[in-house]
Structures are given as structure tokens and as C-alpha cells.
Chain A
Amino acid sequence: MSGLEGIPIHIQTAPHAGANAQAILAELETALQALLDTGKEHSIDLRSLPLLPGELDYLQHTLGTGEVRVEIDALGKSDVRETAYRGVWWVAHYNTLDEVMAEFIEVSFCPDIVRAQRDDVRESLDALSARLAGNEE
């Protein structure tokens, strides 16, 4: 017997299944409008919601896969994927043991985590300048 498939239990989806996912889609619609109107970014923490079994898959399936996929390697991996709805991003943060630490749906032109951070850029400039000046090996 391999995994749960071997156990003859069938989960019947509850009445109103998908209601939570529908609510999230409606929230994304509002957020996209706000992004266009005011540039305001939005983020939904998927772990804070009581999703029915299967609803997360439904949401992922409905939003689909877009053109951009970014893998970040910082304190473990992060996976940033644009969905088929441009401007809607699926962001998953993993720890060094590859366990999900947090999962968000973000609405923005580009998720903040992808950009280089100002203080890091300043340090890079200093490091590069020092190298050119021959102060570093």
C-alpha cells in the first residue's frame, strides 16, 4: 500500500465547498484594482485561513502559472511565481530544511523580496570600490 491512496476513505467536500477560495479570488480582484489605481500592494497570508481540504489546490489551479518564476536562496529557498493573472504572485518561503515557513499570495508589480535591498546595494558598492582601489585581495 503506498500512501493515502490505499485507504478507502472518500472525503466528501462540504456544502459550500470553495467558498473560502472564492472569497480570496474576490479579495484579489479588489487588490488588483487598488494596485492599478493607487499602486498599493497587497498580501494574503494563506496560513491564517481555515481552508477546506482541496481548496488550496483549487486556488493554485484557478490562478494558474504565469511567465515569471524566481528562486531565492536566502536562509533556505523562496519560490516566487507569477500566476496567470499578471501582478498576482504566489510566494512560498522555505527554511533550510525545505519546510514551508510561510506562504502568501501577493499583489504587486514586483514582490519586494525579489528586489535588491538598499543597504545591501550600498555594501556591495563599498566592497566593489574597495576591490578596484586594490584594498582587497
Chain B
Amino acid sequence: MSRRPTVAEQLARQGVSRRAFLKFCAAAASLMALPPSMAPAIAEALGKLRRPSVIWLSFQECTGCTESLTRSHTPTVESLIFDMISLDYHHTLQAAAGTAAEQAREDAMKEAGYLVLVDGSIPTRDGGIYSTIAGVTNLQMLKDALANAAAVVSIGTCAAYGGIPKADPNPTGAKSVQALMDEGLVPRKPVINVPGCPPIPTVITGVLAHYLTFGEIPELDSLGRPTMFYGDSIHDRCYRRPFYDQGMFAKTFDDEGARKGWCLFELGCKGPTTHNACATTKWNNGTSFPIESGHGCIGCSEPDFWDAGSFYTALSAPADPLTLATSATVAGAAIGVGMSFVNRAKKGAAKSGHETATLKDLEK
């Protein structure tokens, strides 16, 4: 590691002033959802950071996560890749191909302590033959890569929870990175889940920047997600929340309520059970997010979102808090808060229950 220059040295070599570095750190603090007062601490940490080696493994996936990352603007992906990390293997972005590419991966794995990024789930049925790279199964490649890794970041819902490949009937026996560790199929390492289909670009870079800057795993929730980005539900941070609290709902996609921007709960919005940063960080350089564009949240950052019922059916509620959920649709703020609390506490129950609340079936 000692031959790698620090990030500060790297920037100084490029003629970047301290003022510019300060600006970079202010943007990084914002990116990492830290208070602006943390910028000097970030500057100090980055001053000592040596560019760590990163191996990015793409398994059963659609490349949407890489598409998302390459559209992240804060900091620009170029500065992230070239200044902060040494991206030694990424079979979509790297110039090398064929045996030279695989050689780069094997070389990077010789020096322990690198970071492994995974997008896509891993097929396990029939010996994992349903997805291979250079004749090596995804399962074997992950096993090898994790042996000397410091930590692994599961980028996207497929790597974090199995995602769409794992959706019923899961023909390839797809599993998440965490599931493979739990079953002892790959070496156990610290895991950071960054779900979303795809994850918000700045959330990907923000999580990486946090790990690289402070050299530690950020605080995680029970599903392995960094709480700084996944700590609140979409519903809790939604600008349409006041309409929910006052029982003002759009009933169809072109009625008066929809045009006036009322709450999309009855049109199937999964905001109350979904934890992500869309409502504050937003998409496309902070332009908007699905609800702001008039469509409910589909819950893509939650496990098994694809099998959780129709995107257009109002949230199911398990039998236990059913009465509470139903009354929340017509009552005020206090019950609204109770609702999101119940949803968070009973997430597991809600998944298995799937008893539709008394709201009309909107698909009919």
C-alpha cells in the first residue's frame, strides 16, 4: 500500500489549491450526509488516505447500477475513480479485455485489504452455471475475491437482497452476498448493503466516500443499509406528507387530486414501507423523484419488492395493525406517525401477511 500516493498528494500533483480541496471536502460532507462542520475532518482524513484498491464484480445484473454510478455528479465519477480509489477491475468500465482483464483482477487480489464491490445476485442452482465470467462461476469468483478483502459493498437490490433474479420462481437459485455468507458458501466479511433498483448515484458514491475517508463501516440498519441514507422512510421525508396527514388522496392518475399533487398512497405508493434517500437527495442532479413526477414509490430498495404485490395496489397491511393502517388514511398527523412506526416495526409481518386494507382494489 505504501507506494500509493495519498489523495491530497494526488490533488497537489494536479495543481489543485487548498481552496479547491476545501470546496471538494464541503461537497463530500454534503454527499456523505454529514453536517457542513465536518468538512475540516474530512480534509484531514483525506490528507492521509492512500488510494485503496477496488475490485468491482458484476454478476446477475442489468448494468443499471453501473449506469447509475457513471451518472453520479458529486464528486464527478472521474474524480472518484481516479483520485480516491484505484479501480483495478470492472469488466464494463476497464479498457483491458479477455485474459488481460482477468489477470488485472488476480493481480489486485494478491495484496490483501482491498474493497470488493458487487452488483447483481449470485446463482447457486446446478453448481452456479447460470452466470459465468471467463468460464468461472460467479459463486467461485466471489469466493476467491472475498478471501483477502477488507469489506464488501453490495451495490443494488440484486446484490443486497437477491432482487429481480431472486424473484419468484427464481429459476437460477439466485442469492444475495449476505445470504451466501450466512450459509457459509463464501468467506464472511463486513457487508454494506446499498440497495435500490438502481441505487441513487450520489448514495453509491457517498457510501464509498464515507468508507474511504474514515476507513470504517458506517452505521447500518437491521438490513445492512447505512442509516445516513436509509434511516428515514420515503413517506417520512415526502413533501406530499401534509396531504396524507389531512386525508387528501389522488384516486386515479388523472383526477383532480393527482393534478393537484395530493398523496399517492391509494394508488399504491410504497413510500411508508420503503427506506431510501429519494425524497431528499432526489434523482437526475437533484431534479425530482418518482413521487414528485406523479408516480408512487415502488419500494425498490426493500427486500423482495418485486414479489410484494402490485405496484398499484394500496399497501397491504398484516392482520395485526390493520385497523390502525385503515384509520390512518382518513385521520391526522398523529396516526400518520403511528403508521410509519408500525410499518417499520412490523416489516417482516407485512411481507408475509399481505391482507389488503379496506381500500378499493385499484387494479380493477
Contacts and interface: CB of A to CB of B under 8 A. Distances in A.
A118 B18 CA distance: 9
A48 B30 contact: yes
Contact of A99 (B261, B262, B285, B292): B285
B19 A95 contact: no
A67 interface: no
A15 B23 CA distance: 37
Interface of B: 16-20, 22-24, 26-27, 29-31, 33, 35-37, 73-76, 237-240, 242-243, 246, 259-262, 279-281, 285-286, 292
A22 B22 CA distance: 30
A21 to B, nearest CB: 12
Given A52-B239, A119-B18, A10 B74 contact: no
Nearest to A118: B18
Given A95-B76, A100-B286, 4 more contacts: A44-B36, A50-B280, A75-B23, A101-B27
Given A14-B240, A50-B239, A97-B76, A45 B35 contact: yes
A11 interface: yes
A14 B26 CA distance: 32
Interface stretch (A58-66, A82-90, A109-117): A109-117
A10 B261 CA distance: 8
A112 B26 CA distance: 11
A102 B19 contact: no
Nearest to A47: B30
B260 A11 contact: yes
B17 A120 contact: yes
The 3 nearest A-B residue pairs measured at CB: A74-B20, A43-B36, A117-B18
A113 B238 CA distance: 33
Contacts of A45: 29-30, 35-36
A133 to B, nearest CB: 23
A10 B19 contact: no
A11 B18 contact: no
A93 B74 CA distance: 10
B30 A53 contact: no
B16 A120 contact: no
Contact of A49 (B29, B240, B260, B280): B280
18 contacts: A10-B259, A11-B261, A14-B239, A14-B242, A16-B242, A43-B37, A45-B30, A45-B36, A50-B279, A75-B16, A93-B23, A93-B27, A95-B74, A112-B22, A113-B23, A117-B19, A117-B22, A118-B18
B261 A101 contact: no
A30 interface: no
Contacts of B261: 11-12, 14
Contact of B280 (A11, A48, A93, A113): A48
A51 interface: yes
A116 B26 contact: no
B239 A53 contact: yes
Contacts of A129: none
B76 A78 contact: no
